[in-house]
Amino acid sequence: MDRVMHKVGLHGRSFIPMILGFGCNIPGIMACRTIENPRDRLTTVLINPFMSCGARLPIFVLLAGTFFTANQGLVVFSMYIIGIFVAIIMALIFRKVILKGPSGHFVMELPPYRLPTIIGVLVHMWERGRLFLIRAGT
């Protein structure tokens, strides 16, 4: 996602706040704390309100039902897509005009992964299953 987000002018870590913005813009904006560069963080905060949150859906449905009686579903879907395109355009404008400068690279260190042993999986399943039955029975 870092490569795609860089083409738009955003940091790779901007993807999760943008996705969270579809549920609610406040957690999406709060998730911007993970972005180190202040310019990238501010750009993400400024375009996050363009992501259509769930609270806007009844308003979209009301407007589509009032003005577009034939294709209501298509109109509501178009409002979501238009919001995404406007966010992309605004991100490009912010990065080129207001918040100039290079965007940082997304580097994430991952721990070495190992396959679990059968015994370890069985012991963990037994402990979790026993704990569930104890809690469910009381």
Tens digits of per-residue pLDDT, 60-78?
A: 999 999 998 888 999 999 9
Number of domains, the chain: 1
Asked if the model's pLDDT at residue 22 lies above 80, the reply is yes
What is residue 94's predicted lDDT score, i.e. its pLDDT? 87
**Quick one: tokens of 81?**
């897509």
Cβ neighbours, 10 Å, residue 88? 16
Q: Return the higher-pLDDT residue of 120 and 54.
A: 120
Residue 126, domain member (yes or no): no
**Rounded to an integer, what distance in angstroms lies between the CA atom of residue 54 and that of residue 61?**
11
Mean pLDDT of 19-41: 90
**Tell me: the pLDDT tens digits for 32-58?**
998 888 888 899 999 999 999 888 999
Residue at 130 is within a domain? no
pLDDT at 101: 72
Residue 85 domain boundaries: 2-109
- More confident of the two residues 111 and 108: 111
Is residue 106 very low, low, confident or very high in pLDDT (cuts 50, 70, 90)?
Answer: low
For the cut 70, the answer to whether the pLDDT of residue 4 exceeds it is yes
User: Does residue 127 sit within a domain?
Assistant: no
Task: Report yes or no: 11 and 37 within 8 Å, Cβ to Cβ.
Answer: yes
Band of residue 103 on the pLDDT scale cut at 50, 70, 90: low
Higher pLDDT, 102 or 42: 42
Instruction: Report yes or no: 40 and 104 within 8 Å, Cβ to Cβ.
Output: yes
Tell me if 119 is assigned to some domain.
no
Q: Quick one: pLDDT at residue 105?
A: 67
d(CA 78, CA 21): 17
